[in-house]
Each structure stands twice: as C-alpha cells, then as structure tokens.
Structure 1
Amino acid sequence: MNADIHDESLHPSSLDRLDRRILDALQANGRISNQELAAQVHLSPAQSNRRHKRLEAMGFIKRYEARLDADRLGLGVTAFVHITMDRGQFKEVQKFQRNVGKMSQVLECYAVTGDFDYVCKVVARDLKALSDFLLGTLAQLPGVNGVRSSVCLNELKNTGALPLD
C-alpha cells in the first residue's frame, strides 16, 4: 500500500465513484462478504478487498457494529434530554463528560449551542426507569443545573447511514 494512506490531508474529495459505492454497500450491510461486495460494486474480489482495506486504513470506516432492537430488549422508552450546566463550573464539565460517557442508557450525547449545553438520546425500560435515571443519576452529576426531557412517541427514522452523494 502507499505510504500516503494515513495522510491526514486526504479528504472526501479523494473518494471516487467506486469508493462511494463500496461505502454505501457497507453502510447497508456491514456483514456483506467480499464476494457479494465485489459483485454489487462490479469489481473483482481482489480489487474490492484492496479498496475496502484502503478505506478502513484511511479512516473513512470508523467501526462495524450490530444495531440491536431496543423494544425487543425491553427498552421501550426513548427520550431526548436537554441538559444545562452551572455557569462558571468549568471543572465539572470534564467530570460530566466522563460520567455520561460511561452511562449505558445514554446512546448519544452532543455539546450544543442554544438554550442548553448538551442534548442526549437516552433509552429506558419504561417511564419510571427514565424518571429514576434522569432525577436520580443524570441530574445529580456535578455541575448539572437542569435536565429537561422529551419522550419519543413514534420513531420515524433511525439510521446511521451517511449521505454519500
């Protein structure tokens, strides 16, 4: 392989049409075999594998994971939680971020602009479990000033697939 594979100056514009088709196919099915991938993108298996490995080495593919069904696992409540932090308590922000990173109920968490400091996507068994988590765990973290939640009534779209066009 080329020495420039790990070059940080490489960006999405360095992807050609075949690279994008490979990435699209992998987003749809991360367990696709190399034979199936090659057939789908119209390359030989050797070329497909070489490109796939290069895309991994370049960092375009972060990881492979299984997407589990929360309802089937008894996690029937999804909520979006808006968190405000105490002003002037910057020391607590790092503690907050470390703690949130360890919480299995928190699927995603983002530092945001606007009226709140963080928005997190949280799952729970039921409303009681959500309430216990929000009031007994999340709101008790050092530096947290306020927690507001919106419970998801109906999931319209849930994907991790990025647009590649």
Structure 2
Amino acid sequence: MHISRIALDETDSRLLSALQRNAHLTSQELGEELNLSPSQAGRRRQRLEAEGLIQGYAARLDPHRLGLAVQAFVQVQMTRHGHETTAAFSRLVDAQPEITSAWTLTGEADYLLRVYCQDLSSLNRLIHQVLLAHPAVSRVQSQIVMDQFKPDAPLPT
C-alpha cells in the first residue's frame, strides 16, 4: 500500500509545528502565529485534518504520576510467520494496555514493543505469562529504560 505524500507550503508546515507544540490553539491564536485571519487558519487546519495529515489530538500523560514506574522496550522473535500467526499476535498485543506501541522490524527480532508497567513484577508477568505464553513466540528480550533524556518530539515538518 502506497500512501501519497501531501504537499505542504511553509504556512502549512508552521501550522503543523504550532499544533504539535500545543494542540489547543484556537483559530484566533493560530492566525496570530501564522499572520493569517482566524478563518484562514481554521480552514487550513480543517483541510489538513480532512487530508488525513492530522490524525487526531491527544493529551500526553505523565507515566510516573499514573504509577507506571517501569518503561521498557521488548523485542519479540517468532518461531513461525504467516497471516494467522500475525493476526493472533496482533490481537494479543492490542489486548494489553501496558503495550503502548508496537512495530514490525527487519533483523533478528520480528516486533518491538514499548511498554509501561507499574513495577518489575508487572513487566515480568507481561513477558512470561502473556508474551512467552503465545505459541508462536520463541524469544523475548527486554531493555528497561533508565532515563528518557529526550522526550517524544514532534515530527519534522
């Protein structure tokens, strides 16, 4: 599946950068920042939403204040591949709220999972009772995050 790139002018790029910094900006505030009228800024935002470039708006939560003291990246290697195996593993991952994102990879590992857990016992349970319990999972390797010195950053526009 090929997704075509959306052409952006400088104003669109500046609008996207502003929204990534603060998604709560009103059309008035966007217009002031971009030197546009509020209606022009609002129409540009609506166009970028309609074209699928802006996929949604979300709040960033502090994992530590939620009691999620352990962040880890977990690599998963499968014993076999195929549509049914992939679909079953995808369902397993979707059902685990601790797994906040997942990627398929090239190389030794088939998947990379980003997880947030309350403690090491919770991470241990996720790895041993959930992931390794899947019949097609052959190996799991985890890396516990000691510190995130660069927070998740906005995408370059």
Q: TM-score range by the shorter chain?
A: over 0.9
Q: Deviations over 1:121-160 (max 9, x none)?
A: 0010011111111111121123111111000001112225
Q: CA deviation at 1:89?
A: 5.7
Offset, 1:120: 0.5
What is the identity, as a one-letter code, of the residue corresponding to 1:150? Q
1:11 to 5, 9, 18: 5
Q: Secondary structure at the match of 1:15?
A: coil
**1:45-82 superposed Cα distances (whole Å, 9 cap, x missing partner):** 01000111001011110111011000000001000000
Secondary structure of 2:11 counterpart: helix
**Residue 123 of structure 2 aligns with which residue?**
130
C-alpha distance in 2, partners of 1:9/1:100?
Answer: 25
SS in 2 for 1:109: strand
Superposition deviation, residue 90 in structure 1:
5.0
Partner of 1:36: 29
Partner of 2:105: 112
Which moves more between the two structures, 153-162 or 143-152? Answer: 153-162
Is the counterpart of residue 162 in structure 1 residue 152 in structure 2? no
Closer, same or farther in 2 for the Cα pair 1:42/1:89, shift >3 Å? closer
Aligned to 1:23: 16
Runs of 5+ in structure 1 lacking a partner? 1-7
Q: TM-score, normalised by structure 1?
A: 0.89
TM-score (norm 2): 0.93
Q: % of aligned pairs identical?
A: 37
Q: 1:123 to 1:9 in 2, by over 3 A?
A: closer
SS in 1 for 2:97: coil
Distance 2:136 2:4 in 1: 39
* Match in the other structure for 1:147: 140
**Contact 1:76–1:125 (CA under 8 A) maintained in structure 2:** yes
Name the amino acid aligned to 2:88.
K
Is 1:86–1:144's contact at 8 Å kept on the other side of the alignment? yes
1:64 equivalent in alignment to 2:49: no
Segments of 4+ in structure 1 off by > 6 A? none
State the SS of the aligned residue for 2:132.
Answer: helix
Deviation at residue 102 of structure 1 after TM alignment? 2.3
Query: CA-atom RMSD, angstroms?
Result: 1.7
